Amino acid sequence: MSIGYVTIGALDDKKAIPFYDAVFGAIGLERKFSDGGWTGYGQKGQDSQDVFVVSATANGKPAAAGNGIMVAFKAQNTGEVQAAHAAGLKNGGSDEGAPGPRPADSKAFFGAYLRDPTGNKLCVFCRP
């Protein structure tokens, strides 16, 4: 299975974009475009690899975080996970789980959990 892209709604672009610039910058993603209320992110140094889009809602109603919905982004190592979590907190995000192994004794999964300024839940993880 291959996902073409994921889109989430943002209540406030001025809060959401700095959050995603910081979190994604820590794990090797960059802003690819920002136009007409749509901002797309993808892998640094690659063209047309937009994998995550932040935008206003299509129906004009306020964006809302989906209960039970979470998008997870793979980092290269535990340092990137920690940097992304810290960057998110410094840029308007809220903590949903500090960086660490899951479960606590795991050697196979290291993750951190955040909510963006709209309340959407994200995970940044690696498999050390």
Is-contact 9 63, C-beta < 8 A?
A: yes
Mean pLDDT value across residues 109-120: 96
Residue partners of 115: CB distance under 8 A and separation at least 6 = 65, 93, 94, 96, 121, 122
Count the domains in the chain.
1
How does pLDDT run across 19-64, given as a tens digit for each residue?
999 999 999 999 999 998 899 999 998 876 678 999 988 888 999 8
Give, in order, the Cα–Cα distances in Å from 35 to each of 32, 38, 40, 55, 121: 10, 5, 9, 10, 24
The predicted pLDDT at position 51 comes to 84
Q: How far apart are alpha carbons 84 and 77 in whole angstroms?
A: 11
pTM of the model: 0.90
Asked, for residue 50, whether it belongs to a domain, the answer is yes
How does pLDDT run across 56-100, given as a tens digit for each residue?
888 889 998 888 899 999 999 999 999 999 999 999 999 999 999
Asked, for residue 112, whether it belongs to a domain, the answer is yes
Residue 110 has pLDDT above 70, yes or no: yes
The predicted pLDDT at position 99 comes to 98
Which range marks the domain in which residue 71 is found?
A: 6-56+67-126
Helices (H), 27-105: 78-90
Asked, for residue 62, whether it belongs to a domain, the answer is no
Which CATH number does the domain housing residue 15 bear? 3.10.180.10
Asked, for residue 1, whether it belongs to a domain, the answer is no
Asked, for residue 73, whether it belongs to a domain, the answer is yes
Residue 51 in tokens: 């994998």
